[in-house]
A and B are shown apart, each in its own frame.
Chain A
Amino acid sequence: MFLTFPIMVIRVNTVEDVIEWRWLNLLIVGLGSFFLSFVWRYFIRKQETGKKKAQAGEIGNIPLSRRLLTEPKIYLPAIIVLSVFALVFPFIFSMYQTNIMITGLIYVMLGLGLNIVVGLAGLLDLGYVAFYAVGAYSYALLNHHFGLSFWAVLPIGAGMGAFFGIILGFPVLRLRGDYLAIVTLGFGEIIRLILENWNEFSFGPSGIANIPRPSLFGIQLSLQNATIYLYYLMILLVLFTIFVVERLQNSRIGRAWIALREDEVACEAMGIDRRKTKLTAFALGATWAGMAGVIFAAKTTFINPASFTIWESIIILCIVVLGGMGSILGVILGAFVLILLPEYLRVFSEYRMLIFGGMLVLMMVFRPGGIVSDVRRIYKFEGLQNNTEENL
């Protein structure tokens, strides 16, 4: 209140050369900060009592998110409602909304891909957008030079992503933590700078235009139909991604990734090949970015290096961290929150980024584990119990 006093209360009116004293502002700032600190303390206290309860070992107190996921009565209708909503979405809402949703779904895919590298294997990758760019440019360039179609390039883009993932993986095998983050950051910038400056190869900053949208069995669709088509395509691809990632993380390889995240020395001493495990994590994470890149190019029909800045990497990383590292549902929610929120906050015009930033800070203070932090473990828990009971 006192710190803001000079700015908020005293104003020199330069026209009439008098000092205005705006006492009302003082009152508003005072009330506002009182209210905010009250809310802040309330949440802090709530969090602390929660911790105490957890320490006291009250097992019966299952958190809401856990109950939602283990009770079929609750989650089955939710899934049905969600899938119906997803199916009819493009017909009830405008094309603008559908387009936003497609973007959201692309980021879900990117988030799930990065989740393999950061959430499961614990390798902090700040250059993830490089693989996204690789995918997008593979489609744009292959189409421009050789006229390859979307469907032909989709697997090629995925393969290119994986290939570049391995290329990045080799030099960083020995690094971890901060050092790894810096090298991947550099790698992301190298790819962007190459695309920006190597004019003969990538057409430089002016980018590549007129990239065709995906065709349906060779038929070119109108803009509206193409958008709807792309939307359903994205839904299918996201489902495919969820399916693969879910299976991967509950497999021998997934466990090795998590062990690598938890303790690298112990992981090696238990017979896990660190090189191989890290490389598969990088390659598989990058595969999804490559695929997402191809779709991005097909959706916007125009790409240039400006779409692949470090800011994109940060956003994708935020999706993973905010959603909850290693949790599929968390990452999906995180992607929708982070991509859709800024869109729908447009009403607040210039305050939009402020609100967005504030929400990120609050989330991390009160839920450091992310929106849904413990989903994976519950799946695991159930599966294991059943297995052991069956077999013993």
Chain B
Amino acid sequence: MAPILEVKGLSMDFGGLRALDQLDLDVEEEEIVALIGPNGAGKTTFFNCITGIYPPTEGDMLISPPGTKQKSLNGLKPNQVTERGLARTFQNIRLFPNMTVLENVMIGRHCRMSAGIAGAIFRGSSTVREEKEVVRDSYVILEKIGLTDFVNEFAMNLPYGAQRRLEIARAMATEPFLLLLDEPAAGMNLQETKELDDLIIWIRDNEKISILLIEHDMKLVMSLSDRIFVVDYGRKIAQGTPEEIKYNPAVIKAYLGEEIDA
């Protein structure tokens, strides 16, 4: 069976700068894959290419949601990518600050709803039903993530860790089969990181959502991931299980630099 996400030879140029260079990556069903690398290695650019924010210079991005045929993501707009079942979070939190927590999650449901202008004005029975459903579904997602205490709170008033979790809740509301998390543990304390660890495992096991994450917290990456891809200067320098990566000389070199007398 084809991997649910398969990226082949992805390159991205910004003017003369090659941010991504012939990158290959794949994610299997119900797998947690980590993408690591030093700052500026091109990890977020990789996410932006997959989710349609940047059009890649070359390469193929293919998805095959569980039980369907392989399809291309090339040339799709961000909202179309999300509709196909890829949802993401952002490195620097991008919630809707002046909307309530529940509304934030309801926005995630947007692409799974259908009410139009006429529906909104006349409020027919289908619209009313849909609105009730979206409120209930969103509430259920918040329950799963553990944010029900904040339902009617403005997103901007949430504690930092809760904002990160809300971003995940919002992404889950779009019914993805693959969740792309961009540094979900950034700025979190030990306790919050531990909770995040549990949450990600829980999402994989119970929601059957695969996860591709970018992370700098090595402890988290090593404990969570089934497989790890390491990039540096836009190139893949290693891939494998956490054990393999830990002792890979190329990875150590990229992170710590070369020993002088080596």
Chain B positions within 8 Å of A274 at CB level: 79
A270 at the A/B interface (Cβ < 8 Å)? Answer: yes
Q: Are A270 and B108 interface neighbours, CB within 8 A?
A: yes
Q: Which of A17-25, A40-48, A250-258, A345-353 contacts B (4 or more CB under 8 A)?
A: A250-258
Chain B positions within 8 Å of A258 at CB level: 96, 98-99, 103
A248 at the A/B interface (Cβ < 8 Å)? Answer: yes
A259 at the A/B interface (Cβ < 8 Å)? Answer: yes
Minimum C-beta distance from A332 to chain B (A):
19
A263 at the A/B interface (Cβ < 8 Å)? Answer: yes
Question: Which of B79, B94, B130 has most chain A Cβ within 10 Å?
Answer: B79
A388 at the A/B interface (Cβ < 8 Å)? Answer: yes
**Number of residues from B at the complex interface, CB < 8 A:** 46
Q: Which of A95-103, A126-134, A218-226, A376-384 contacts B (4 or more CB under 8 A)?
A: A376-384
- Give the contacts of B95-112 with A (CB-CB under 8 A): 95-100, 102-103, 106-108, 110-111
Partner pick for B132 among A259, A270, A391, CB 8 A cutoff: A391
Minimum C-beta distance from B48 to chain A (A):
10
Give Cα distance in the complex from A284 to B136, angstroms: 29
- Give the contacts of B215-234 with A (CB-CB under 8 A): none
A37 at the A/B interface (Cβ < 8 Å)? Answer: no
A56 at the A/B interface (Cβ < 8 Å)? Answer: no
Minimum C-beta distance from A374 to chain B (A):
10
A272 at the A/B interface (Cβ < 8 Å)? Answer: yes
Say whether, besides A262-B99, A384-B100, A384-B102, A269 and B82 are in contact (CB < 8 Å). Answer: yes
- Give the contacts of A223-263 with B (CB-CB under 8 A): 244, 247-248, 251-256, 258-259, 262-263
Give Cα distance in the complex from A381 to B102, angstroms: 10
Question: Which of B95, B106, B107, B170 has most chain A Cβ within 10 Å?
Answer: B107
Chain A positions within 8 Å of B123 at CB level: 247
B150 at the A/B interface (Cβ < 8 Å)? Answer: no
Q: Are B110 and A272 interface neighbours, CB within 8 A?
A: yes
B83 at the A/B interface (Cβ < 8 Å)? Answer: yes
Q: Are B98 and A262 interface neighbours, CB within 8 A?
A: yes
B249 at the A/B interface (Cβ < 8 Å)? Answer: no
Chain B positions within 8 Å of A3 at CB level: none
Q: Are B170 and A262 interface neighbours, CB within 8 A?
A: no
- Give the contacts of A367-392 with B (CB-CB under 8 A): 377, 380-381, 384-385, 387-388, 391-392
Say whether, besides A252-B110, A252-B120, A271-B82, A263 and B95 are in contact (CB < 8 Å). Answer: yes
Q: Are A269 and B120 interface neighbours, CB within 8 A?
A: no
A280 at the A/B interface (Cβ < 8 Å)? Answer: yes
A183 at the A/B interface (Cβ < 8 Å)? Answer: no
Which residue of chain A is the closest to B123 with respect to CB atoms? Answer: A247
Minimum C-beta distance from B248 to chain A (A):
33
* Bitwise interface map of B from 131 to 169 toward A, beta carbon under 8 Å scored 1, else 0: 110111001000000000001101000000000000000
A265 at the A/B interface (Cβ < 8 Å)? Answer: yes
B252 at the A/B interface (Cβ < 8 Å)? Answer: no
- Give the contacts of B70-108 with A (CB-CB under 8 A): 77-79, 82-83, 87-88, 90, 94-100, 102-103, 106-108
Q: Are B103 and A269 interface neighbours, CB within 8 A?
A: no
Give Cα distance in the complex from A298 to B100, angstroms: 43
B115 at the A/B interface (Cβ < 8 Å)? Answer: yes
Give Cα distance in the complex from A259 to B97, angstroms: 9
Q: Are B79 and A271 interface neighbours, CB within 8 A?
A: yes
Partner pick for B121 among A248, A271, A392, CB 8 A cutoff: A248
Q: Are A266 and B99 interface neighbours, CB within 8 A?
A: no
B16 at the A/B interface (Cβ < 8 Å)? Answer: no
Q: Are B79 and A255 interface neighbours, CB within 8 A?
A: no
B174 at the A/B interface (Cβ < 8 Å)? Answer: yes
B40 at the A/B interface (Cβ < 8 Å)? Answer: no
Chain B positions within 8 Å of A251 at CB level: 115, 119-120, 127, 131
Say whether, besides A262-B97, A269-B82, A271-B83, A253 and B115 are in contact (CB < 8 Å). Answer: yes
Q: Are A266 and B96 interface neighbours, CB within 8 A?
A: yes
Q: Are A253 and B120 interface neighbours, CB within 8 A?
A: yes
Chain A positions within 8 Å of B106 at CB level: 255
Q: Are B96 and A268 interface neighbours, CB within 8 A?
A: no
Which residue of chain A is the closest to B173 with respect to CB atoms? Answer: A270
Q: Are A392 and B139 interface neighbours, CB within 8 A?
A: yes
* Bitwise interface map of B from 56 to 80 toward A, beta carbon under 8 Å scored 1, else 0: 0000000000000000000001110
Minimum C-beta distance from B145 to chain A (A):
15
Say whether, besides A247-B121, A384-B135, A268 and B78 are in contact (CB < 8 Å). Answer: yes
B53 at the A/B interface (Cβ < 8 Å)? Answer: yes
Give Cα distance in the complex from A263 to B167, angstroms: 13
Chain A positions within 8 Å of B174 at CB level: 270-271
Question: Which of B53, B120, B123, B170 has most chain A Cβ within 10 Å?
Answer: B120
A273 at the A/B interface (Cβ < 8 Å)? Answer: yes
Give Cα distance in the complex from A271 to B86, angstroms: 10
B11 at the A/B interface (Cβ < 8 Å)? Answer: no
Say whether, besides A284-B117, A388-B151, A268 and B77 are in contact (CB < 8 Å). Answer: yes
Give Cα distance in the complex from A392 to B142, angstroms: 13
B116 at the A/B interface (Cβ < 8 Å)? Answer: yes
- Can you list 9 residue pairs at the A/B interface with Cβ under 8 Å? A244-B121, A251-B119, A255-B107, A256-B110, A259-B96, A268-B77, A272-B111, A387-B135, A388-B136
- Using A251-B131, A377-B100 as known contacts, list a sample of 4 further A-B pairs with CB atoms less than 8 Å apart, ordered by residue number in A: A262-B99, A384-B100, A391-B135, A392-B136
8 tightest A-B contacts by CB?
A271-B111, A251-B120, A271-B82, A262-B96, A266-B94, A268-B78, A391-B136, A387-B135
